[in-house]
Amino acid sequence: MKLPRRLPSTLAALVCALSMPSNEAAAQSENLRVGFLTVRTGPLAAGGRQMEEGINLLLKERNYAFAGRKVDIFFADTAGQPALAKTKTQELIEREKVHVIIGPLATFEALAIDDYMLQSKVPLITPTSAAQNDLAQKKQSDYVIHVYGTAAQPMYALGDYAAKKLRLKRIAMIADDFTYGHEGAAGFHRVFEDDGGRIVQKLWPPLNVPDYGSFIGQLKANVDGIYAGFAGSNPLRFLRAYKEYGLKLPLFGNPTFVDEGILKNMGDEALGVYSASWYTVDRNTPDNKRFVDSIQGEYKVTPGFYTAGTYTAGLWL
């Protein structure tokens, strides 16, 4: 019998179920075991908390079930450290027998576990990390799904805006010295210089630097603006130090620099910052309004990039 090319979805599902080997059919009745790589300690912990709020809200809305299968979720704190991320990933797969992993937060963590994910053939859904070359562009693994784009993509728009709309010519850069910081800065750098501007300086403070004062003191004064690429709690620390030192140059920040999820902790030091991101809390669509209302009702906070990214990762799953 020939089936029509456009098979109704319910019939297609039935055909798949009837043709499925008995062990696979039994697997479909198991609880779905989801590993979740979060950050609960260290400078990136603020983002980890928002990630957990995103996935926990979705699970609660779906009564802890996806597509009719109950979900068991296993959280693992990587502390934002690549070596620990690999250890926790191995524990989730080998001890907890998870079927899929959501996370991690940071790009350098995703790079650390990429080979292992490919070997284990367990899907990894990344809500925030996005290694530009190694994971996204080269497409080296069929087991990595990127919910959002790369670190550089929104910075293309920001660099273009700085050069074409604001007509700035000289920019100094300062950013976290890890993969996400480098890739965001590279995106801004490329487009800003392609549009006629010039990057005259780059500073890379360590992720755990205790104080930004010495780095701020090194920033060149004869520029039109400063690009600042920071994540976690570091944007707040940098902005307060920037204000204390009395600098007035315009600031251009990566998506996590003045993300809605951390703006509640900021004061006047955040005023006037230019930024670009995949997500904004005031996006005027019914689904976003419902999402924002739900997060505010559940956690009494405003959702940001990390929250929306992880909620979306759950929708993908």
The stretch 241-260 carries a mean pLDDT of 92
Q: Residue 221 above 80 pLDDT? A: yes
For domain 30-149+284-316, the CATH class is alpha beta
pLDDT value of position 289: 96
Q: Residue 12 above 80 pLDDT? A: no
Tens digits of residue pLDDT in 18-36: 345 545 555 567 899 999 9
Tens digits of residue pLDDT in 127-156: 876 655 555 455 567 888 888 778 888 999
Tens digits of residue pLDDT in 37-90: 999 998 888 889 999 999 999 999 999 999 999 999 999 999 989 999 999 999
Tokens found for residue 152: 């550089």
* 152-275: in CATH 3.40.50.2300: yes
22-36, 151-165, 266-280: the lowest-pLDDT one: 22-36
6-15, 191-200, 246-255, 301-310: the lowest-pLDDT one: 6-15
pLDDT value of position 133: 55
Local confidence band at 107 (pLDDT 50, 70, 90 cut-offs): confident
- Give the DSSP per-residue string, 136-198: IIS---TTEEESS--SSHHHHHHHHIIIIIS---EEEEEE-SSHHHHHHHHHHHHHHHHTT-E
Encode 113-131 in three state secondary structure.
HHHHHHHHCCCEEECCCCC
CATH 3.40.50.2300 residue spans of the chain: 30-149+284-316, 152-275
Residues with Cβ within 8 Å of residue 275, at least 6 apart in sequence? 158, 252, 253, 254, 255, 257, 258
pLDDT value of position 132: 53
Q: Residue 178 above 90 pLDDT? A: no
Mean pLDDT over each residue of the chain, to the nearest integer: 87
Q: Is 251 helix (H, G, I), strand (E, B) or coil?
A: strand
